[in-house]
Amino acid sequence: MLPHLRSWFQRLRDITQEGRALLQSVVADSALDPFPLRRSLPGYGKRTFAADARAGFTVALLDIPQGMAYALIAGLPLQYGITCSAIAALVGPLLASSRHTIFGPTNATAFMVFSYFAAYPQLDRIGMMPLLVFMTAALLIMGAFLRVADLTQFISRTVMVAYVTGASILITANQLPVLLGIPAEVLQASGKLVITFPGHVQRILTHLDHASWLSISFSVLTLASFLSFKRWLPRWPAFAITIILVSLLGLIPTAFGLHVPTFSNATFTWSELLPPFPDFISSGALADASRLFGLAFALAFLATLENSAMSKTLASRTNQRVDPNQDMLALGAANLACAYLSGMSASCSLTRSALNHASGARTGFASMWNGLCCLIGALTLGGAVAYIPRSALATLVVCVAVSLFNKRHIWISINATRSDALVFVVTLLATLMLPLHVAIFVGIGVSIVLYLRKASRPSLVEYEFNEEGHLTEARQGGRQHPAISIVHVEGELFFASADLFRTQIQRSCADPNLRIVILRLKNARHLDATCAMAIEELVQVLRADGRDLIISGVVKDLYRVLKDSGLVDVVGKDNIFPASPSNPNLATRNALRRAQEILGIKDADVRIYYDPSKQPKT
């Protein structure tokens, strides 16, 4: 008993030391830079400053109206979008490794916030936003130090394509009532807000009689103006110019006594820019934190995906090396600042980052100049918001949403493989039918399940030595020794493949003449506890029936699992043959001789061919 306890405590100590070493290596390997922007300071001259300032001003012309549009999507005051754009753009570059990414509100994160609070209309959306953004920042900062951003490479691109497509459809459907001029009071009187695509369609169809021809006219005018600028003056800031032009044209109907719905009740002064200082230690904060954790986790996850995708895309164009974990830390810092100074969550904007690169930005200072311009615009343009027609801004939001459709990526996702097509359809339907913070994890879950289904199918083939001494696939009923079966296992041996592995082995053992099973595990990988238990059960079943199991081609990692799990003692050291790097078939030959020895076969001459001058083909 005492030796057993001593062995158990020794094993526990080893596990503790391994865990501590892993944690230390994670922290040491994080190698996060506390101020990467300093690398841009040497040689920063007039030309670089002019290029960054020009790019920052150009992006700000898009950032200010987009910030208001995304605040509108999230159901927040318009100034929240502008201040989020300013604060995130000022703080993010201080820690980001990418020179061109622009942080701020995005359509996906904004609509994720809307869909959550639309499902729970009793919650105080504005009051809970600072805590939500703070929790998102904490998760991002923690994930950066744990190098969680490295895991984004395991997320299927198909999931993101379907998610963005579904979010775009939802954004469009959500803005259609405003675009058509259906009063918000009428929609609110019909019941609580809906978050599903069928609900949006039903709400629109049942209230078409309240549509306003004047709002529809301004929607058409806005669309025509925006598309004209994009077509004929592509270098001009079409978004900002369209808003200014339509706002001026909106003064004409007012002169004739016609009412154009505007944001007259959404204007703000400089003293109203800052949200109320958040109270994170009140008695109700813990309850709110537990309620918002799922949404905060989804926001942090989505922001990491958006940032990783955009930073790598721009880095490939500029031959720059980026660190996704460093950028994740920058996102966390930006959201932390927004929690106190803005009240809206920040992510990496795909459109503004692309515009920043196209405008000739050279360093991260371009983002800071953009943030400064947004801050100045927020301080000076508060009263001008009152003249923006609601239908015009809704139309521009729809234009942004439609621009996110990527027909080529959708076509590839649907036609590449059946698994990709299924993942796309399921994720798209989940996005249209469920809250977005749930839908994205549904899509990821389906993609992982389908991947595990593929990976959990190890190949089990019965082998034999032919007359030339080569180990080849056995013919049906053509064993050299009817009592011995050599089963070559190739693939992943982890928990998902345990049942299939056990079933295939049992099928191989259906022959009543079979006495010895040789498992050739040279190409088997990632043996875990579940498959180890399956092997142990197989040994017990075989021996209860007067049979035995021999394992050959055991590599070091595989042998370590067998030893730590106690399978070496169960199978027997004499029945386990390590792999030989110089002769891959030597372990199987020795295992076959061991099988003949157990059976009492005197003729144990097994011919095996090996030519060291020939390397295996790749």
The candidate with the shortest Cα–Cα distance to 217, out of 263, 255, 180, is: 180
| Contact by Cβ (8 Å): 517, 542 | yes
Q: Contact at 8 Å (CB) between 402 and 172?
A: yes
Report all structural domains of the chain as residue ranges with CATH numbers, in order of start.
46-274+285-449 (no CATH), 459-599 (3.30.750.24)
Cβ atoms of residues 439 and 415 within 8 Å: no
Which pLDDT does position 266 carry in this prediction? 63
CB 352 within 8 A of CB 63: yes
For helices 285-318 and 350-358, angle between their N-to-C axes, nearest 10 degrees: 30
pLDDT at residue 438, as a whole number: 81
Cα–Cα distance list, 53 to 38, 203, 367 (Å) = 18, 45, 9
Give dist(CA 334, CA 144) in Å, integer.
Answer: 13
Three-state secondary-structure class, residue 220: helix
Count of alpha carbons within 13 angstroms of residue 442, beta-carbon side: 19
> What are the residue ranges of helices labelled H in 350-405?
350-358, 365-380, 390-403
E strands along 229-352, which residues? 347-348
103 neighbors 88 (Cβ within 8 angstroms): yes
Residues in the chain: 618
CB neighbours (10 Å) of residue 284? 11
Give me the pLDDT at residue 270, please: 62
- d(Cα 496, Cα 343) in Å, to the nearest integer? 43
* Residue 460, phi then psi, degrees to nearest 5: -115, 115
The CA distance from 582 to 519, in Å, is 20
Predicted local confidence at residue 473, as pLDDT: 60
pLDDT at position 587 is: 87
Contact in structure between 85 and 374 (CB atoms under 8 Å)? yes
Listed as ranges, residues in the chain with pLDDT below 50 are 1, 4-5, 22-23, 26-27, 604-618
Contact 345, 113 (CB under 8 A): yes
- pLDDT of 227: 92
Angle CA(538)–CA(527)–CA(464) in degrees, nearest 5? 60
3-state secondary structure of 351: helix
Nearest Cα to 70, choosing from 104, 118, 115?
104
Q: Position 393: which residue type?
A: L
Query: Residue 421: what pLDDT?
Result: 93
**Cα-flanking dihedrals φ and ψ of residue 89, to 5°?**
-70, -25
CA 520 to chain centre: 37
Strand partners, 464: 472
Measured CA distances, 163 to 64, 293, 300, 490 (Å): 25, 21, 16, 35
CA–CA separation, 547 vs 508, rounded Å?
13
Distance, in Å, from the CA atom of 479 to the CA atom of 465, rounded to the nearest integer, reads 9
Cα separation of 131 and 111, whole Å? 18
∠ CA 326-146-167, nearest 5°, is 70
Rounded to whole angstroms, how far apart are CA atoms 294 and 291?
7
- β-pairing, 516-525 vs 484-492, is parallel
